[in-house]
Amino acid sequence: MTPNEQRNERLGAKMVKAMQRRHFDAYYCATASEAKAKVNELIPDESSVTWGGTMTVRDMDIPKMLQERGTLKVWDRDLVETPEEKQEMYLRAFQADYYLSSANAITEDGVIVNIDGNGNRVAAITWGPKHVIFVVGMNKVAQDPEAALKRARSTAAPINAARFDIQTPCQLDGQCHNCNSPQSICNYIHFLRNSSKPGRIIVILVGENLGY
């Protein structure tokens, strides 16, 4: 085991306990393949499932795995084409049994931080779906909420702005300007401290670098 793997495993175990105190169900998986299997295990047959704009879930081919399983109601937001279909899918997510997401950052004691441009993702995380499953690489761990917010705005936001080719100041130079751009993707800032319904929030920490 490498020093980095040792660090991730030890910190991951500590974070799992911290998140359990926040009424989350939490797991640590050393690899993305283990995490993918855990997602599959956690979602029962006949469940409805969808996801937000997470590159972590897509890069792990989790949507394909869920589609090929054949026993789930998969609402694939990546197949919609028109703005009207997109809006309908955003609203349908509130009725899902399982909503998949990642995080822009997570603190060492388990606070999950996300920022959104449209707000549909943080809205679904907060209320609606029966369960929310986060898949989060250990590269997104920050020491405290302040550091997590800085990571979300200074690391994740410029990369996502470039991914969507959004003309914000951070897209141009990679630095957060605390802007009020019409195309800002930092309109809604969300801190998830606890699960009001024990077990509704499920977090799978992964001992690899995943997503942004």
- Position 208 scores a pLDDT of 96
- For 28-49, write each residue's pLDDT tens digit: 999 999 999 999 999 999 999 9
Q: How far is CA 143 from the centre of its chain?
A: 18
Q: How far is CA 113 from the centre of its chain?
A: 9
- For 55-96, write each residue's pLDDT tens digit: 999 999 999 999 999 999 999 988 988 999 999 999 999 999
Which residue ranges make up each domain of the chain? Answer: 3-110+119-142+196-206
Is residue 185 within 8 A of residue 114, CB to CB? The reply is no
What is the rounded distance in angstroms from the CA atom of residue 132 to the CA atom of residue 177? 31
- Position 106 scores a pLDDT of 98
- For 123-180, write each residue's pLDDT tens digit: 999 999 999 999 999 999 999 999 999 999 999 999 998 998 988 999 889 999 999 9
The CATH number for 3-110+119-142+196-206, chosen from 1.10.150, 3.40.50, 3.40.1350, 1.10.3470, is: 3.40.50
- Position 164 scores a pLDDT of 87
Give the closest residue to 208 by CA, choosing from 15, 32, 56.
Answer: 32
Pairing of strands 112-116, 105-107: antiparallel
Determine the length of the chain: 212
- Position 58 scores a pLDDT of 95
pTM of the entire structure?
0.95
Residues 131/132/133/135 CA torsion (nearest 10 deg): 180
DSSP conformation letters of 106-169: EETT--EEEEESSSHHHHHHHSSSSEEEEEEEGGGEESSHHHHHHHIIIIIHHHHHHHTT---H
- For 96-128, write each residue's pLDDT tens digit: 999 999 999 999 999 999 999 999 999 999 999
Structure tokens at 102: 């990642």
Distances from the Cα of 78 to the Cα of 103, 153, 178, angstroms: 19, 25, 30
Is residue 134 within 8 A of residue 103, CB to CB? The reply is yes
